Amino acid sequence: MNTKEIKSKFNSLFGSELRVYTSPGRVNLIGEHTDYNGGFVFPGAIDKGIYAAINPNGTGRIRAYSMDYNALSEFGMTEADAPREPWARYIFGVVREMQKRGFEPKGFDTVFAGDVPLGAGMSSSAALESTFANALNDIFDLGIDRFELARIGQSTEHNYCGVKCGIMDQFASVFGKEGHLMRLNCATMEFEYFPFNPKGYKVVLLDTVVKHELASSAYNKRRESCENACAHIKTKHQEVNYLSDATMSMLDEVKDEISNEDYMRAKYVIGERQRVLDVCAALERGDYETVGDRMYGTHHGMSKEYEVSCEELDYLNDIAKECGVTGSRVMGGGFGGCTINLVKEGLYDKFIATAKEKFNAKFGHEPKVYDVVISDGARRLE
């Protein structure tokens, strides 16, 4: 993204002193809805994100201008000052979460914009949180480590935006590394980088351009299902702290004690943990057929067991299978957004053309296409 417009808008509103920061959105090759269940995830930062010009203003207030919404919000830094605009609550939440941890950011002016497609499952919200967490940490010399910056973003979602998300999105946005995916153990926060340069393949996102409205309430409900199943398992197996610690045989022991819905949600999570480990092992030996097979397995689980897919996503997944695409699955929380596809370069053009044509015939619009470039995490640009 060209930051010239952001800087120009900042100059017109607030003056010429500024610094520019960015944080990326993310893709997740595999490991969906496992982060809040203490499992593994396998994300990478992308070359699309949020960009913010920012400068201290010497007051106890924040003046924030969103170029995407063409709107200015001004608010203080105490709980009573919470802004009404949903987009401003992310910035406010980051400030409040820093204060709760004993840090003292001061007032500032900011103009920001993004090129992460909204609602596509690439986590524009985590990119926004990470941009401001990193920027305030740097500008006010707060000394917060990068893990805590990610947790501040996660707590912002929980306490100010109403989504009980796991840590993956903020972690990927903060720790991203060009040309690498990251395997993160969400229970211990241990992680390692995996080089990701699949020769002969492309990774591409197909965006349904739909977002079904039940997403955040349904997301929280699924988390409750997982926590309930885990609590029942723990009465018999004290060592199980997270659902991802459990095995299918442990889940089957409590099948009659929980609802069928809770059972299916838990079954998906336990299966997904193993799929992530299978993909890591496959990548280390360059076995992209196994990677693709496990991606299809994840889609089936998210559609039939976790039930967070939708007709549009399932249709794109079916087209991918018909076209011989190596791997395809819904990416992100679900209920709309994107599929992520691992496609042999020789099949790429035909797959994209077929997907556009068939999807348009069925739903009245083409999916948007985003090629994935794995990029660096939160940073100052100048």
**Domain 201-371 = CATH 3.30.930.10:** no
Strand partners, 271: none
Output the pTM of the full model: 0.87
- pLDDT at position 174 is 97
- pLDDT at position 215 is 54
CA distance 275 to 281: 10
Query: Could you tell me how far CA 371 lies from the centroid of its own chain?
Result: 17
CA distance 43 to 67: 28
**What class, spelled out in words, does domain 4-196+376-380 have in CATH?**
alpha beta
With a cut of 70, list the residues of the chain below it in pLDDT.
119-120, 212-216
Out of 109, 169, 207, 262, pick the active-site residue.
169
Q: How many residues does the chain have?
A: 382
- pLDDT at position 197 is 84
- Is residue 68 flagged as an active site residue? no
3-state SS assignment for residue 138 = helix
DSSP alpha helices (H): ranges in the chain? 4-14, 86-100, 124-139, 146-156, 168-175, 215-236, 248-253, 260-284, 288-300, 311-322, 345-363
CA distance 37 to 47: 28
Q: Are 4-196+376-380 and 201-371 equal in CATH topology?
A: no
CA distance 29 to 196: 11
Query: Could you tell me how far CA 352 lies from the centroid of its own chain?
Result: 24
DSSP string of 69-131, one letter each residue: TTEEEEE-SSGGG--SSHHHHHHHHHHHHHHHTT-----EEEEEEE-SPTTSSS-HHHHHHHH
Neighbours of 259 (CB within 10 A): 11
Torsion over CA of 114, 116, 121 and 122, rounded to 10 degrees?
A: -110
The DSSP output letter for 341 is E
CA distance 128 to 67: 13
Q: Are 150 and 101 in contact (CB under 8 A)?
A: no
| The two structure tokens encoding residue 144 | 């917060």
Strand partners, 110: 54, 64
State the pairing for strand pair 62-66/108-114: parallel
- pLDDT at position 164 is 80
- pLDDT at position 214 is 55
Residues 6+ apart with CB under 8 A from 147: 189
Domain segments of the chain as ranges? 4-196+376-380, 201-371
Neighbours of 235 (CB within 10 A): 11
- pLDDT at position 333 is 79
> pLDDT for 192-230, tens place per residue?
999 888 899 999 999 999 876 655 678 889 999 999 999
